[in-house]
Amino acid sequence: MASLSARLPLPGARGGTAAARARRRRRLRILAFLSPWLAGFGLFFVYPLAATVYFSFTRYNLFTLEYVGLDNYAYLLHDRDAWTAMRNTLWLVAVLVPLRVLFGLGAAQLLTRIKRGAGVLRSVLYLPYLVPPVSATVAFVFLLNPGTGPLPALSARLGIPLPDFFNDAAWAKPGLTLLGLWAVGDVMIIMLAALLNVPASLYEAAAIDGAGAWARFRHITLPTVSPVLAFSAVTGVIETLQYFTQPMVAGKVASGRADLPGVQYSPGYPDGSTLTFPQWLYDQGFRQFNMGYACVLALVMFATAMAFTVFLLRRFRAFAGEEAR
């Protein structure tokens, strides 16, 4: 558009001043198009971020505000629950994220090998991703519940006893991992699209050269899908940093407690094993009303998420796709 308006005289264009007027009009038009986002950026990004930094130096419970300097930061160092939350988050980053990426890639690879029924299988694998996370979590707690759940009943009949997933501190995170693998559809679809982008001629040429299945995977498939692998790994980490709904709901449902009047649920059941960082922030900020301290936790989250985002942005050129066609 810009190039065109430079070449074509606009209606009413009369020499230099008119050109300047046109340029100003164009700038205003761009601003008008961008205005919702510019306003939103200020109101919901810049302001709250600055306010978070400010509140992090205060003790604030919505009614009284007191400046306390670095007290909140010092408290973070001694906050056992914050460290538990960090350890749990690291566990999930180290186990859940790689498993999801690998399983997604494996399922996508499997789909490329199937001719008949591939569409059905693709839908079946994608379906669980669409199930609302709360519903999926409630269902998994029940399905894996020993004594009453159908899956332990079934496996007991086969002679393989299952652990008490969501009531045993050692098994709660593996239980959440199973849930995460069930909802692997998003990763799988991205991987599938990447795999289908690999030109078939490459495989044919390699097969003629006598490359085995592993060699073809290692030297053709992997290099072509590696940007997508990196993308889903990094977005997976960022999602895991925000992991809230599933552990919160799993803990509530398994313990039989919820935010009903007169019933309080402290996140992390059983024994803090499902306490994640966002849950601790929620608990401190919106349940205990330690707003200042919650802001410190928010800043820790912000720094971590930004670090991974910067890493992802280095690959930005690769997936921004300027003028693709």
Rounded to an integer, what distance in angstroms lies between the CA atom of residue 276 and that of residue 116? Answer: 42
Instruction: Name the minimum Å distance from CB 197 to another protein.
Output: 7
Instruction: Name the minimum Å distance from CB 273 to another protein.
Output: 19
Residue pointed to by tokens 């313990």: 255
Q: Which residue, 184 or 272, has its beta carbon nearer to another protein?
A: 184
**Residue selected from 140, 165, 166, 269 as contacting another protein according to rule CB under 8 A:** 140
3-state secondary structure (DSSP) of residue 309: helix
Site for another protein in 288-307 (CB under 8 A): 291, 294-295, 298-299, 301-302, 305-306
Q: N- to C-terminal Cα distance for the chain?
A: 17
Q: How many residues bind another protein (CB under 8 A)?
A: 117
Site for another protein in 42-101 (CB under 8 A): 43-45, 47-49, 51-52, 55, 60, 62
Site for another protein in 224-283 (CB under 8 A): 227-228, 231-232, 235, 238, 241-242, 244-245, 248-249, 252-253, 256-261, 263, 278, 281-282
The candidate with the shortest Cα–Cα distance to 102, out of 155, 177, 213, is 177
Are 81 and 274 contacting, i.e. CB atoms less than 8 angstroms apart?
Answer: no
Q: Which residue, 55 or 57, has its beta carbon nearer to another protein?
A: 55
3-state secondary structure (DSSP) of residue 45: helix
Q: Residue 159, Cβ neighbours under 10 Å: how many? A: 6
Q: Which stretch binds another protein (CB under 8 A): 82-90, 140-148, 163-171, 198-206?
A: 140-148
DSSP 8-state code for residue 161 = P
**Residue selected from 82, 101, 107, 233 as contacting another protein according to rule CB under 8 A:** 107
The candidate with the shortest Cα–Cα distance to 247, out of 96, 101, 106, is 96
